[in-house]
Amino acid sequence: MKRLKSYSLRKWIEGNGNFKKIYSPVNGKEIAEISSSGLNFKEMLEYARNIGGTKLRSMTFHERARMLKALAQYLMKRKDEFYPLSYMTGATKTDSWIDIEGGISTFFTYASKGRKELPDETFLTEGKTEILSKNGTFVGQHICVPLEGCAVHINAFNFPCWGMLEKLAPTFLAGMPAIVKPASVTAYLAEAVVGAMIESNLLPDGALQLICGDTGDLFDHLTGQDVVTFTGSAETGRKLKSHPKIIENSVRFNLEADSLNCSILGPDVTPDMEEFNLFIKEVVNEMTVKAGQKCTAIRRTIVPLPQLHNVVNSLKEKLSKVKAGSPLEEGVRMGPLVSASQLDEVNQKMSILKNSAEVVFEKSNGKINGGAFFEPVLLLCNNPLTSIEPHETEAFGPVSTVMPYNDIDEAIKIARMGGGSLVGSLFTADDDTARKVVLGIGAYHGRIMIVNRYCAKESTGHGSPLPHLVHGGPGRAGGGEEMGGIRGISKYMQRVALQGHPTTLSKICRQWIKGAQQITDKVHPFKKYWDEIRIGETYFTPRRTITEADIVNFAAISGDHFYAHTDEIAARESIFEKRVAHGYFVLSAAAGLFVDPAPGPVLANYGLEDLRFTKPVYPGDTISAALTCKKKTAKEKRENEPAQGIIEWYVEVKNQNDEIAAVYTILTLVKRKEETL
Amino acid sequence: MKRLKSYSLRKWIEGNGNFKKIYSPVNGKEIAEISSSGLNFKEMLEYARNIGGTKLRSMTFHERARMLKALAQYLMKRKDEFYPLSYMTGATKTDSWIDIEGGISTFFTYASKGRKELPDETFLTEGKTEILSKNGTFVGQHICVPLEGCAVHINAFNFPCWGMLEKLAPTFLAGMPAIVKPASVTAYLAEAVVGAMIESNLLPDGALQLICGDTGDLFDHLTGQDVVTFTGSAETGRKLKSHPKIIENSVRFNLEADSLNCSILGPDVTPDMEEFNLFIKEVVNEMTVKAGQKCTAIRRTIVPLPQLHNVVNSLKEKLSKVKAGSPLEEGVRMGPLVSASQLDEVNQKMSILKNSAEVVFEKSNGKINGGAFFEPVLLLCNNPLTSIEPHETEAFGPVSTVMPYNDIDEAIKIARMGGGSLVGSLFTADDDTARKVVLGIGAYHGRIMIVNRYCAKESTGHGSPLPHLVHGGPGRAGGGEEMGGIRGISKYMQRVALQGHPTTLSKICRQWIKGAQQITDKVHPFKKYWDEIRIGETYFTPRRTITEADIVNFAAISGDHFYAHTDEIAARESIFEKRVAHGYFVLSAAAGLFVDPAPGPVLANYGLEDLRFTKPVYPGDTISAALTCKKKTAKEKRENEPAQGIIEWYVEVKNQNDEIAAVYTILTLVKRKEETL
């Protein structure tokens, strides 16, 4: 029999006793044995922190992002090895696709976001500079630095691949190493994926370790620099969250527990509308994908009373067509539950649910040929506002309870009775209803999907967390939050408020902050390569007197004859009190002052940010501009393109009285010196 | 004797038994009695959630911000009532100023930030829209909505006013009601400040309640919508954090515990440098302000070995001049500890610290005339890398331990041994040292202040948390985070990821999202008042063909003769492949196409955001623009000014092939109809 191995300190290690057996959910036969006995958890944590962490922290966000991309590409190449293992867990082909390719896609998304939305630095300069003093010699700036501990990810059985990768993506991007502990019952798939990642040689040594089996005394060695995430049952989650070391060392703990997610059919929807069919399809889908063993599955189906009969009948019809069986069998749409004990668990919860709901659809259920098969069950609770069980008891299988409501306020009340959910959805063609429901149930949800005929085709579905959006929910759902794009990395970083002189903070953050030292040079900045321009380097332009003729000419060429520029009488009555130069002329004249016309390393001005016209420019005013290099970002070298980098220039246009007329940031694309690459 | 009262369900209530006595730290005499016995904590929570919360949530951020400003102004008027009560706690005038006026200033800061940085809505649309589909019919948008529970603030004894107000400011701004429970020993000051806030009638009913005494069974009634914050001893904090209801309901818990904060003297600093004196002054100040009873005080004074002697001597000299005594006595710079039991506590911790440190400065200490006086003590630990006590044991009084280091890496190691601190500071004239230290100790700190001669004058000091910056720290400091400007309100809000059609999400968020429906009108938008323009309203301009003459003329008027516009030969070899129109000309010509020249409600275009030139415009191209109302924000009406609002217009400039040449957002100031005000 196969014995699963853990990966610790660069070695694959088999447990040395206390093996637990893993059985097939399809036929009840033994698949593998698992034990972490003999592992030195303290050493694993220290190895992660000292070896993996040190290396990851020395990499920039862009380097980490490129590593994620390469890993994703590598895993995609080897995906065919993972499918057969996934089928063994009872997952169908569709279920497996979500788990395997959906999981790998989180790496792709974080790889892309890391390069687009994060700087090419080892840490993050976050938010705007805070002015803390009158003369601006003392300012504040937040940064986020990687935590120097280890992330311990304890994952659920249902998505051994996705559940692992969606957590590893932001962990690695943030610069933290991880130890992964998959749920034992499906650990063989996680073991295979981790194995592939290790074999890829794309990860630094110590960045990833694996525990197959239990976590032993690992928690006793956690520090305030470590992070624990847990996805699974609320009961286990709570136990771990209140572990003495977690409390004592303020260890960050992110809990994602199953919740009683709802889907609401809008009061406007009737069976002749597309939204009705979309709703029915989604409920059946969420009940049966992964045999309903999804933390985001629709457990509560909330429908307007007039449609109750129609909804129940439509659901029954669809459910009756769902064929359950072995994932390898032809035509099977739903696999078994993950294990015999999970089957017992679902049956036990069913009996609780039946206290306040009647069964309106079921097939015969039980072990078939030793497999843990459970056919879909639809329940009906006629008094959802006075019942407790359907809002608090979750049968983690293909089970949902239909509940009628009289008006939308009642639907909102029912939805909130779940006490906090990962996700809720609403099917409506009425956007006013959508706003009301979102604001009514928002505080109780981590994600809300609103579906109508216009978005349905492209919708990713009620049950699919996406790396772009936060995943997690308040209260019963555990109070955690994962992913959410770049937000997700903050769980693995420490936010630090820096205070000091702008020059000091500029040096630390490697970006110029207003008030910091400005360096000048006799060479015009447009004559310099990206590499040659220093942060803080400033070009002070000559001056230009703005005349009435300029305004007249600019109105003529732009076609902008707004009265404030061309009608002296109306201008006098306006907030400007007399004619003013066009704002766009001020920008254009400033460019005229700072641009060096000859061909040189500057390729283009491709954008502009945060422009404010702070003071009108009148005929007779004399303006000048100062251009300061604020930030430099190297771009990846592409074939058939000169090596390039981005330079952000902070620009101030002032008048003869040193008053700021306009302030903005321009983005330029500048060539890099080939020899530096 | 005065009996402190709690404020519950609109009534001031005296406890009905189990009174505890509060004694003066100055002379040991009884000051007041305190008991919360008889309060119905469950009812208080429900009243907060249902009455106070409902009202606060219905207000917009701007309304809540104006409320905070009015409250701050009101409290400033009555501040003279609070000072005498503060002196009773042992606080000097300076200590009291920090507590009282520093506390009120957090309300001012949040009032200002709320109006400047938040929308005039009841909830927050957060971050960019996430494109989740190929055709853009299904997108994602995060929002933050107020939690619908109650914030319970359990505060420390040292800053009864500031500690309360710095938490209430983000709570109220977020839209949550609060129950405040001050530490008993100084609760009389908190009682007075709460009393004033209630008397102001500026707060909605139920927004603020007060518990004088213990919290009874309050924790048993907490739900996943509530938030608990605790500032104080780590021991109590941990106990509360692991309360079964906190764990079971995933109640957000923000812990801010005292930590062993350090200040480092840079290796570059010698006694002849200004930075040396600034360091000495800061250490003495942080030791003695509030008699060292500050969670941010400098407990560990880390200095280069060659300067050890100089530092110790300078500190001794300064400390010897500190006069301790009753805050009301002339010339007193330091008051007593808060209570006799605090005095015992400090003495006990001192004896532990002495295990690895010698006393290098102390005066006689002990109860004087029944007061809890404790004179400053300076300790020296010669082996900081191998000692445990100075990094783990905190004497919460005017006590600091000096530790020498050999090189900067060693200083970093010593600093990190604190296991997580609220704040650290560094005194250096070398910005490279600053970067090294910040990146070396960042993961262990919530805030780091770097001081040199250039910022010292305006510095707000090592020990002062500011509302603009985060306050909190990892590990030993509790792992919490407060304030940090607008970041602070997220602790009291639920982040929700919305998914759906752009039109639906636009309706929910009241701001136009790309892909959402665009409405047209025969009336030009510049002829409309702010009130008349609808979100999504779009003006499609006529077209204009861009010619070579335009480029020549624009170069002439702007002075921008960049080769890509004027040198056909060089342009051909550039990334543009031929001459292109100036980007600023495209902007100007677009304005010419959409501006309505006649005087009307549009007052000014005062800014521009997120401009990207996405496609060059060549001579012969024909461009047009579309202007869509993206967001509307009413401005507060000021005297002698027409009522105004801001409209953000999303602009796309396209060429004849429907390719986007430029995309940006312009900000316009538009008159409001007087009759709607």
Tokens of B569: 């030969």
Structure tokens at B439: 């990146």
The pLDDT of residue B142 is above 80: yes
Contact between A76 and A54 (Cβ < 8 Å)? no
Q: What tokens were used for A407?
A: 């008006």
Q: Which two tokens stand for residue A107?
A: 């790496």
Number of residues that this document lists for chain A: 677
- How many degrees, rounded to 5, is the angle at CA B393 between CA B390 and CA B398? 85
Contact yes or no for A455 and B598 at CB 8 A: no
Find out whether B5 and B33 touch, Cβ atoms under 8 Å.
no
Amino acid at A637: K
Q: Is A511 among the domain residues?
A: no
Q: Which of A138, A247, A460 sits opposite B132 (nearest CB)?
A: A460
Per the structure, the count of domains in chain A is 3
What's the CA angle centered on B152, arms B150 and B154, to 5 degrees? 175
Q: Rounded CA gap, B611 and B3, in Å?
A: 63
Q: Is A446 on the interface with B (CB under 8 A)?
A: yes
The backbone torsions φ and ψ at residue A170, rounded to the nearest 5 degrees and listed phi first, read -70, -30
CB A468 within 8 A of CB B142: no
Beta bridge partners of B666: B608, B649
For residues A570 and A584, state if they share a domain: yes
Within 8 A of B573 by CB-CB distance, chain A residues are 599
Q: What DSSP string runs through A393-452?
A: ---SSSEEEEEEESSHHHHHHHHHTTSSBS-EEEE-S-HHHHHHHHHHHGGGBSEEEEE-
pLDDT for the residue numbered A539? 97
> Is the pLDDT reported for residue B646 higher than 60?
yes
B366: confidence class by pLDDT, cuts 50, 70, 90? low
Q: Which of B448, B563, B595 sits opposite A498 (nearest CB)?
A: B448
pLDDT of residue A676: 53
Bridge-based pairing state of the strands A139-146 and A493-500: antiparallel
Virtual torsion, Cα A567, A569, A570, A575, nearest 10 deg? 110
A235 and A314 share one domain = no
Return the sign of the alpha-carbon dihedral for residues B107, B111, B117, B118.
positive
Say yes or no: B290 and B363 in one domain.
Answer: yes
List of residues 6+ apart from B331 with CB closer than 8 A: B323
Distance from CA of B668 to the nearest CA of A (A): 11
CA distance A130 to B317: 36
Nearest CA in chain B to A589: B558
- Find the range with the poorest average confidence among A243-247, A364-368, B670-674: A364-368
What does pTM read for this prediction? 0.95
Flag if A500 and B443 touch (Cβ within 8 Å): no
Whether A466 is in a domain gets the answer no
Residue B152 tokens read as 């319970």
Q: So what's the pLDDT on residue A107?
A: 98
Q: Compute the CA torsion angle B209, B213, B216, B222 (nearest 10 deg).
A: 30
Residue B74 lies in a domain: yes
Q: Render the burial of B636-663: b for 16+ CB within 10 Å, e for the rest.
A: eeeeeeebbbbbbbbbbbbbeeeeebbb
Pick from B133, B431, B608: which is nearest to A507 by CB? B431
In this structure, the answer to whether residues A344 and A218 fall within a common structural domain is no
Domain assignment present for residue A510? The answer is: no
CATH of the domain at B596: 3.10.129.10
Q: Are A460 and B612 an interchain contact pair (Cβ–Cβ within 8 Å)?
A: no
Top-confidence residue, B331 or B525: B525
Q: From the CA of B431, how many Å to the nearest CA of chain A?
A: 5
* B253: confidence class by pLDDT, cuts 50, 70, 90: very high
Instruction: Grade residue B53 by pLDDT with cuts at 50, 70 and 90.
Output: very high
Which chain B residue's Cα is nearest to A241?
A: B247
Per-residue pLDDT band for A675 (boundaries 50, 70, 90) equals low
What letter represents residue B272's amino acid?
D
Give the tens place of pLDDT for each residue, A581-625: 999 999 999 999 999 999 999 999 999 999 999 999 999 999 999
The pLDDT value given to residue B529: 95
**Among A496-505, B359-368, B515-524, B622-631, which stretch is predicted with the lowest mean pLDDT?**
B359-368
* Per-residue confidence band for A638, with pLDDT thresholds at 50, 70 and 90: confident
Interface of A with B in 224-283 (CB under 8 A): 224-225, 238, 241-242, 247-252, 255, 257
Residue A184 has pLDDT above 90, yes or no: yes
Domain of residue B399 covers 262-461
Say if residue B278's pLDDT is above 60.
yes
Distance CA A254, CA A447 (A): 17
The reply to whether A236 and A269 lie within a common domain is no
B311 with B416, same domain?
yes
The answer as to whether A39 is a domain residue is yes
- pLDDT confidence of residue B364: 67
Condensed to tens digits (0 to 9), the pLDDT of residues B480-498 reads: 999 999 999 999 999 999 9
Nearest CA in chain B to A429: B504
A598 interaction partners in chain B (CB closer than 8 Å): 563
**Beta-carbon-side half-sphere exposure of residue B285 (alpha carbons within 13 Å):** 14
Dig out the tokens for B67 from the structure.
Answer: 């409320």
More confident residue, B284 or B574: B284
Q: What is the rounded distance in angstroms from the CA atom of residue B152 to the CA atom of residue B154? A: 6
Q: Are B168 and B305 part of one and the same domain?
A: no
Scanning B470-489 for CB atoms below 8 A from A yields 470-471, 474-481, 484-485, 487
Provide CB contacts within 8 A for A133, sequence distance 6+: A139, B455, B458, B459, B460
B43 Cβ neighbours under 8 A, 6+ residues apart = B8, B9
Q: How far apart are CA B38 and CA B48, in angstroms?
A: 18
CA atoms of A375 and A358, how far apart (whole Å) = 16
Check: CB of residue B593 under 8 Å from CB of residue B624: yes
Chain position carrying tokens 């239990």: A214
CA distance A380 to A563: 68
Question: Are residue A657 and residue A603 in the same domain, yes or no?
Answer: yes
pLDDT at residue B518 is higher than 90: yes
Q: Please give the order of strands across the beta sheet that includes B300-304.
A: A124-131, A139-146, A493-500, B447-451, B424-427, B262-265, B300-304, B399-405, B377-380, B358-361
Those residues with Cβ within 8 angstroms of residue A67's Cβ, 6 or more apart along the chain or in another chain: A59, A172, A202, A203
Q: How far is A627 from chain B (nearest CA, A)?
A: 15
pLDDT in tens, A411-468: 999 999 999 999 999 999 999 999 999 999 999 999 999 999 999 999 999 999 999 9
Nearest to B303 by CA among B361, B355, B378, B374: B378
B324 and B205 within one domain:
no
Answer yes or no: do A468 and B140 touch at CB < 8 A: yes
3-state secondary structure of A311: helix
Residue B277: which CATH number? 3.40.309.10
Q: Give the per-residue pLDDT at B676.
A: 53
CA distance B203 to B52: 9
Among A634-638, A669-673, B119-123, whose mean pLDDT is lowest?
A634-638
Please write down the HEC assignment for all residues of B436-496: HHHHHHHHHECEEEEECCCCHHHCCCCCCCCCCCEECCCHHHCCCCEECHHHHHHHHEEEE
| CA–CA separation, B136 and B516 (whole Å) | 9
Q: Measured between beta carbons, which residues in chain B are less than 8 angstroms from residue A585?
A: 557-558, 588
- Residue B545: partners with Cβ closer than 8 Å, 6 or more residues away: B620, B621, B622
Q: Decide if B499 and A450 are in contact by the 8 Å CB cutoff.
A: yes
A323 pLDDT tier (thresholds 50, 70, 90): confident
- Is residue A509, in this structure, part of any structural domain at all? no
Which secondary-structure segment (H or E) carries B105?
Answer: helix B93-117
Confidence of residue A215 (pLDDT cuts 50, 70, 90): very high
> Does A361 contact chain B (CB < 8 Å)?
no
Q: Does B103 touch chain A (CB under 8 A)?
A: no
Q: Residue B370 pLDDT > 90, yes or no?
A: no
Across-strand partners of B404? B303
* Chain B, window 408-437: residues with a beta carbon less than 8 angstroms from a chain A beta carbon: 419-420, 431-432, 434-435
Q: Is residue A499 in a domain?
A: no
pLDDT at A677 over 90: no
Alpha-carbon separation of residue B386 from A492, A568, B7, B352, B416 (angstroms): 29, 79, 51, 15, 13
**Spatial separation of the C-alpha atoms in residues B266 and B434, rounded to whole Å:** 8
A365 — pLDDT class (breaks 50, 70, 90): low
Mark whether A253 and A281 lie in a shared domain: no
How far apart (Å, rounded) are the C-alpha atoms in residues A98 and A121? 33
Q: Name chain A contacts of B643, Cβ cutoff 8 Å.
A: none
The ipTM of this complex is 0.96
**Is pLDDT of B675 > 60?**
no
Share of chain B above pLDDT 90, in %: 91
- Shortest alpha-carbon distance between residue A520 and chain B (Å): 19
Contact partners, residue A534, CB within 8 Å, separation at least 6 = A519, A629
Tokens 């710079």 correspond to what residue? Answer: B333
What is the Rg, in whole angstroms, of the alpha carbon atoms belonging to chain A? 30
| Mean predicted lDDT score pLDDT of chain A | 95
CATH number at residue A18: 3.40.605.10
Q: Which pairing describes strands B377-380 and B482-483: parallel, antiparallel, or unpaired? A: unpaired
* Under 8 Å between Cβ of A573 and A564: no
| A137 inside 8 A of chain B by CB | yes
Does B396 fall in a domain? yes
- Clarify whether residues B298 and B359 are in a common domain: yes
Catalytic residues of B: 256, 295
Do both A575 and A433 map to the same domain? no
- pLDDT score, position B215: 96
Shortest Cα distance from A583 to chain B (angstroms)? 8
pLDDT of residue A324: 85
Rg, C-alpha atoms of chain B: 30
Give percent of chain B above pLDDT 70. Answer: 99
The DSSP call for residue B537 is B
**Residue that is last in its domain, among A415, A443, A461:** A461
A561: three-class secondary structure by DSSP: coil
Across the interface, whether the CB atoms of B496 and A438 are under 8 A apart is answered yes
Q: Nearest CA to B180 among B200, B160, B202? A: B160
Q: Is B99 on the interface with A (CB under 8 A)?
A: no
Which one is predicted more confidently, A56 or A332? A56
The contacts of residue A523 (CB under 8 Å, 6+ apart) are none
